[in-house]
C-alpha cells in the first residue's frame, strides 16, 4: 500500500523534476546533462518576448483575480438573503460557468465579442465627439480580464459561500445586540471569519488566470500571454529555455498554492 503511494507520488513529481533538472543543463542537448548552468534562466529573462508575455499574464491575472474576488465575495454574501427562483438561477449560472469546457467558453466569447465589436466600432466612430479617430474596441488585455474573471468569480463564489454558510450566525446577532452598526459587524465579525476564504479565492483565481491557455488562446487577440508564448515555442521544438520558463512558472505557482492551502487549512482549524 505504502509502496504504491510512493510510486504514485513519483509519477506525479518525476516529470516536473526532470524539467527542473534539465533547465540547469549547460548544453542544448535535450537528454544528456552536460554540466550545471543557469544560462537558460538568463536567456529566458532577457528575451523581450518572454518578458512582454510575462507582463501581460501578470497584469491580466492580478486585475481579473482582484475584480473576481470583489464581485464574487459580494455575491456570496448577498446570496445569504436570496431564496426562491433568483437563487436557483444564480446557482445554475455559477455551475454552468464552472462546468462548460474552457474551450467552449473561449470560442463563444470570441465570436460574441468580435460580432459585438464589429457592430459597436462604426457606431462609436460615428458618435465620437472629439477630434481624431475614435478608440477601437479590440480583443486584448481587457477581454482577457473579462473572460478569466468570469471563471475566477464563479470559483470565488463557491469558495466564499462555503465559508459563509459555515459561519456562526449567533456572533452576528450578538454583535448587533451589543449595538454595533451593520458595517462594524461586517468589519469586525464577518470579515475576519471569511478572510481566509477570500484570500484563498484570490490566489486560486490568480493561478487559474496565470496558467490558463485555452481561453486566452481565443480571446487574447494580438496579445501574447506566457502560456500562449510557451505553447507556440513548444510547437517549434523543445528547448532548455522553455525548461527554465516552465520551472519558474511551476515554482511560482507552487509558492502561491501552498500559501492558499495553508490559509484555508488554518481557517478550517480555527473553526473547529
Q: Which stretch binds other proteins (CB under 8 A): 45-53, 149-157, 167-175, 182-190?
A: 149-157
* Interaction mask 129-148, other proteins, x per CB under 8 A: -----------------xx-
Q: Is 100 left (phi over 0), alpha (psi -120 to 50) or beta?
A: beta
Q: How far apart are CA 204 and CA 155, in angstroms?
A: 8
Per-residue cell: 212: 490558463
The CB density around residue 225, as the number of other CB atoms within 10 Å, is 30
Contacts from 133-142 at CB under 8 Å and sequence distance 24+? 138/221, 138/222, 139/110, 139/113, 139/114, 139/219, 139/220, 139/221, 139/222, 139/223, 140/220, 140/221, 140/222, 140/223, 141/56, 141/59, 141/60, 141/223
Among 61, 144, 198, 204, binds other proteins (CB under 8 A): 204
Q: Which of residues 14-33 bind other proteins (CB under 8 A)?
A: 15-16, 18-19, 22, 30-31
Q: In angstroms, what is the minimal distance from the CB of 188 to other proteins? A: 23
Q: How far apart are CA 96 and CA 72, in angstroms?
A: 15
Site for other proteins (CB under 8 A): how many residues?
80
3-state secondary structure of 142: helix
Q: Which stretch binds other proteins (CB under 8 A): 44-52, 153-161, 166-174, 175-183?
A: 153-161
Q: Which of residues 219-248 bind other proteins (CB under 8 A)?
A: 227, 230-231, 234, 238, 242, 246
- Is residue 9 at the binding interface for other proteins, with CB under 8 A as the rule? yes
Q: In angstroms, what is the minimal distance from the CB of 145 to other proteins? A: 10
- CA torsion through residues 62, 63, 66, 68, sign: negative
Largest pairwise CA distance in the chain: 74
3-state secondary structure of 114: helix
- CA torsion through residues 181, 186, 188, 189, sign: positive
Among 10, 120, 174, 254, binds other proteins (CB under 8 A): 254
Q: Which of residues 50-109 bind other proteins (CB under 8 A)?
A: 70-72, 74-75, 78-79, 82, 90, 93-105, 107-109
Q: In angstroms, what is the minimal distance from the CB of 150 to other proteins? A: 4
- Which residue, 89 or 174, is less far from other proteins as judged by CB? 89
- Which residue, 145 or 189, is less far from other proteins as judged by CB? 145
- Is residue 206 at the binding interface for other proteins, with CB under 8 A as the rule? no
Q: Which stretch binds other proteins (CB under 8 A): 38-46, 126-134, 172-180, 255-263?
A: 255-263
Q: In angstroms, what is the minimal distance from the CB of 272 to other proteins? A: 13
- Is residue 263 at the binding interface for other proteins, with CB under 8 A as the rule? no
- Is residue 11 at the binding interface for other proteins, with CB under 8 A as the rule? yes
Those residues whose C-beta lies under 8 Å from the C-beta of residue 119, and which sit 6 or more positions away, are none
- Is residue 202 at the binding interface for other proteins, with CB under 8 A as the rule? no
Amino acid at each position: 500500500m505504502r509502496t504504491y503511494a510512493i510510486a504514485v507520488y513519483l509519477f506525479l513529481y518525476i516529470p516536473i523534476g526532470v524539467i527542473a533538472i534539465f533547465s540547469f543543463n549547460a548544453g542544448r542537448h535535450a537528454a544528456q546533462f552536460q554540466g550545471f548552468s543557469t544560462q537558460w534562466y538568463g536567456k529566458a529573462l532577457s528575451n523581450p518576448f518572454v518578458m512582454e508575455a510575462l507582463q501581460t499574464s501578470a497584469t491580466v491575472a492580478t486585475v481579473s483575480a482582484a475584480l473576481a474576488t470583489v464581485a464574487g465575495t459580494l455575491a456570496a454574501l448577498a446570496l445569504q438573503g436570496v431564496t426562491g427562483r433568483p437563487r436557483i438561477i444564480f446557482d445554475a449560472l455559477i455551475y454552468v460557468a464552472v462546468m462548460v469546457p474552457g474551450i467552449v467558453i473561449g470560442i463563444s466569447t470570441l465570436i460574441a465579442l468580435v460580432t459585438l465589436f464589429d457592430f459597436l466600432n462604426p457606431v462609436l466612430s460615428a458618435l465620437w465627439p472629439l477630434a481624431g479617430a475614435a478608440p477601437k474596441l479590440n480583443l486584448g488585455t481587457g477581454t482577457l480580464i473579462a473572460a478569466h474573471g468570469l471563471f475566477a468569480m464563479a470559483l470565488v463564489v463557491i469558495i466564499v459561500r462555503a465559508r459563509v454558510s459555515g459561519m456562526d450566525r449567533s456572533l452576528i446577532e450578538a454583535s448587533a445586540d451589543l449595538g454595533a452598526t451593520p458595517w462594524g459587524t461586517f468589519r469586525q465579525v464577518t470579515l475576519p471569519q471569511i478572510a481566509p476564504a477570500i484570500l484563498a479565492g484570490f490566489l486560486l483565481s490568480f493561478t487559474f488566470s496565470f496558467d490558463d491557455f485555452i481561453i486566452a488562446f481565443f480571446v487574447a487577440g494580438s496579445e501574447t500571454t506566457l502560456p500562449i508564448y510557451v505553447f507556440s515555442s513548444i510547437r517549434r521544438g523543445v528547448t532548455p529555455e522553455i525548461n527554465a520558463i516552465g520551472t519558474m512558472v511551476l515554482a511560482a505557482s507552487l509558492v502561491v498554492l501552498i500559501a492558499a492551502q495553508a490559509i484555508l487549512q488554518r481557517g478550517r482549524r480555527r473553526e473547529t
